[in-house]
Structure 1
Amino acid sequence: MRAARSLALVALLPVFAGCQMFNSKPADTNAGLTRLQGELVSTNDQLIFQPCVGQQRYRVRDGATTTLVQDATDMPDKPGKLFADIRGRFDSAKASGANGEVEVQQLYRLERSSSACQDPNFKQQTVNASGNGPAWEVQAGGKGMVLKREGQPDLALPYVEEQVGDGRFSLSTEANNQRIELWVAPQRCTDSVNGSVKHLAAELRVNGQVQRGCGYFGGARND
C-alpha cells in the first residue's frame, strides 16, 4: 500500500511541474533598465549622455543591437542640440564628479532639437508619429489623439487601438466623415528631411490616402 502511494506521488510530480510552468509570469525584458532623455556631446573622442534632469554624465556604450555611437556621428550637422531618448543600463560613477556609463539597449529617438527636453506633452503621450510632403503629425495619449496637417486645422479625435502582432498596432477613428488610421511597426526609421532616427515606422491613412513617416513611444508607454 505504501509503495502504491509513493508511485502515485511520483506520477503527480509532472502535473505539479506543469502547473508551475504555466502559471509563471513572463520575464520582464526591461528589468534593470532605465529610460531617460537628454543631450549627446562628444568629448575627448567619447560620446557623453547628459540627462535632461540632473548633472550626472554617462559615457555611451552600445549594446548588442544598438548603433547610437555611429548614429550620432552620422547625424547631419544642423542647428540645435543633439537630443537622444534611450533605454539602457546606467552605471553611476563611484567617484564624485566622474562620469558614469550607460550601455544602450533601445534607441527611441535621435534628433537635432533645442526644446525636446522641455516638451510639455511628452509624458502624456503614448505614441508620436510624423512625416513630410506635406508635413503631418499625430500625438496620441490616454485622452485621444491630435492630428496636425500642414495647411489644415488641427483635429482632436477619440481612437481605438488594435494590436496586429509582432509589436505592430493601429490607431483608428471615424469622425467628421473621415476615416483616419495610424499604422505603426517596430522598425528603425530615418527621416529623409532632417536625418532624425526613430524606432517606429508609421503610416498615416486619411480616407485611403497614405503618407509615411516615423514615430516613437511617448513617456506614457513603457514598451
Structure 2
Amino acid sequence: MSAFRSALVFSLLPLFAGCQWLGVQSAAPAKVSMVGMTRMQGTLSGENGKLLFQPCGEPRRYVVIDRGDTAILQEAASLADAQGKVFADLRGRFNASKAQGGDGQLDLYQLYRVERPGQACEDPNFKRLTLHADGLNPVWNVEVSGKGMIIDVQGQPPVALPYLEEQLPDGRFNLSSEANGQRIDMWVAPQRCVDSKSGAVRHLSAELRINGQAVRGCGYYGGSRND
C-alpha cells in the first residue's frame, strides 16, 4: 500500500471492518428525496475510526454517516494524499448538534465527486455552472451555464454556443446545438465515472459528439443545478 493512502486507510480500519465492500453487494437503498438537503464541498479525513468532513472555509468537522450507500469510504481511501485527506463534493443532512468525535453529524445521501486535494474549494466558476464535463484523447472540457455552453477541445479555439436540453429516462439527458454550422451533442448519464488520468471519481458519465465524432469523459453538476 502506498504511503499517500495509508494515513486515511489505517485511521478507518474499524469502519472498513464492518463494511461489506469486498465483492459483497448490499441491497440498493430506497430512493430518498433530496429536498431540504444541503450540498457542500470540503475535505474528508479519517480519525479514530471515523470519517470526518470539513466544509470549505469552515473550522467545523462533521462525522460522516453514509446513509445513501455511496461507497465514500472506498472512494476516499483510493485518492487520499500524504496527510490522509481528500476533496469531496456531496449532499446530505447536516446536524450541528455535538457528535462524538466531531462538531456535528452529516447524514450523507449523494456523492458528486471525490478527488485529490487541490484548488477545488477556490473554483470561481463552480457556483455559476449547471454542468462540468471533461475527458481525454483529445483533451476536452465543457462548461454549461444558463447563458450557454463553452466547448474547449485541444488544438481548437474554445467555442461558446446556445443549447437545448432534453430530459431522458433514468435521469439521463442530452444537450444539443447546431450553431456555427456544427452539430454538437452531449449525452449525460447518472453513472459512476473515473477520470483515467487523475483517478477522480464523478457521479456522471458524459459523451461529447461533434459532427458525429465522439469522445467520452466524466462530469458533475455545478452549483447552479439543484439535482
Q: Which amino acid letter does the alignment assign opposite residue 155 of structure 1?
A: V
Structure 2 counterpart of 1:139: 143
Matched, 1:93 2:100: no
Deviation of 1:165 (Å):
1.8
The share of aligned pairs that are identical, in percent, is: 55
Q: Secondary structure at 2:224's aligned position in 1?
A: coil
Distance 1:64 1:140, change over 3 A: closer
Structure 2 counterpart of 1:118: 122
Structure 1 counterpart of 2:133: 129
Residue deviations 1:140-186 (CA, integer Å, cap 9, x gap): 00000111111211111111111122211111111222111110011
For 1:57 and 1:116, the matched residues in 2 are separated by: 18
Aligned-pair Cα RMSD in Å: 2.3
Distance 1:207 1:88, change over 3 A: same
Matched, 1:51 2:58: no
Structure 2 counterpart of 1:167: 171
For 1:81 and 1:157, the matched residues in 2 are separated by: 38
Q: Which amino acid letter does the alignment assign opposite residue 106 of structure 1?
A: Q
Structure 2 counterpart of 1:185: 189
Q: Which amino acid letter does the alignment assign opposite residue 197 of structure 2?
A: V
Deviation of 1:46 (Å):
2.5
Instruction: Report how many aligned residue pairs link the two structures.
Output: 196
Structure 1 counterpart of 2:213: 209
For 1:88 and 1:139, the matched residues in 2 are separated by: 25
Residue deviations 1:183-212 (CA, integer Å, cap 9, x gap): 001111111211111111100001101111
Matched, 1:176 2:189: no
Deviation of 1:76 (Å):
6.4
**Greater Cα radius of gyration, structure 1 or 2:** 1
Distance 1:131 1:79, change over 3 A: farther
Deviation of 1:41 (Å):
2.0
Matched, 1:34 2:30: no
For 2:179 and 2:187, the matched residues in 1 are separated by: 17
Distance 1:111 1:62, change over 3 A: same
Matched, 1:104 2:108: yes
